[in-house]
């Protein structure tokens, strides 16, 4: 989390809009709760609040044994098949080739396994009610890596957050169409938006899906949980 602050300081950025994808979501949520004055807006995609040990409050995550099994599978196929079928099922040849090259360039098989096990420790449920930034949660309906209910949970526990259910099963942002980037661009403050492309690009990106506020559930149990 402090890496984000260090980069912002080095760039002279007093505040920014954060986009948190997958395990980057919990980090962004923790940063927003810790440094509220430095986060203008928060967009969360395909993310979750807890990664293992399902309980009554959060029954959708995997068990420790399942996480260990997944970590071993990732290590065994890293740079070959990797976890492409989980992250981007139905990927075309170009995406598959890029995905495997990215894996080989970014980490060793052992480091990839260690990363999966480290991410398994994530639990940020107790910080969600303290997030003040304007927040949008995006989640694909049939995401294979994190369930739709996990995205809804995050939105329900961040005050005033909006939630958008997107079609598709690809966990990778932009892997299926450009709906996620379009929604993010429309949500962000004008000063934080990336430069737009052409008018025809905007027309291709337009979809019909409403952004709606979600009701926050009783979070008394959540506040008692450790991060």
pLDDT above 90: residue 17:
yes
Domains in the chain, please, with CATH? Answer: 15-49+128-223 (3.40.50.1820), 64-119 (no CATH)
Cβ count near 85 (within 10 Å): 12
Strand order in the sheet with 134-140: 16-21, 39-45, 134-140, 162-166, 212-213
pTM: 0.79
Rounded Cα–Cα distance for residues 209 and 114 (Å): 38
Model confidence pLDDT, tens digit, residues 58-101: 999 999 999 999 999 999 999 887 788 899 888 889 988 998 99
Rounded Cα–Cα distance for residues 66 and 49 (Å): 17
Model confidence pLDDT, tens digit, residues 167-226: 999 998 865 445 556 666 677 665 455 554 444 433 333 332 334 444 433 322 222 222
Q: Is the CB of residue 39 less than 8 Å from the CB of residue 215?
A: no
Q: What is the pLDDT, as a whole number, of residue 65? A: 97
């Amino acid at each position: 989390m402090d890496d984000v602050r260090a980069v912002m300081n080095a760039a002279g950025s007093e505040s920014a809009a954060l986009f948190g994808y997958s395990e980057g979501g919990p980090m962004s949520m923790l940063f927003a709760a810790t440094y509220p004055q430095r986060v203008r807006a928060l967009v969360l995609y395909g993310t979750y609040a807890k990664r293992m040990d399902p309980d009554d409050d959060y029954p959708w995550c995997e068990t420790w044994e399942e996480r260990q099994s997944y970590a071993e599978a990732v290590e065994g196929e890293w740079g070959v098949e990797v976890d492409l079928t989980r992250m981007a099922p139905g990927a075309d040849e170009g995406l598959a080739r890029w995905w495997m090259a990215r894996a080989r360039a970014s980490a060793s098989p052992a480091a990839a396994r260690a990363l999966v096990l480290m991410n398994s420790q994530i639990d940020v449920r107790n910080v969600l009610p303290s997030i003040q930034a304007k927040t949008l949660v995006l989640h694909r309906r049939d995401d294979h890596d994190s369930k739709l209910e996990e995205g809804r949970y995050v939105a329900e526990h961040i005050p005033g957050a909006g939630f958008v259910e997107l079609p598709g099963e690809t966990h990778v942002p932009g892997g299926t169409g450009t709906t996620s980037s379009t929604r993010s661009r429309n949500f962000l403050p004008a000063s934080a938006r990336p430069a737009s492309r052409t008018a025809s690009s905007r027309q291709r990106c337009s979809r019909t899906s409403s952004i709606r506020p979600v009701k926050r559930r009783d979070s008394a149990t959540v506040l008692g949980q450790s991060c």
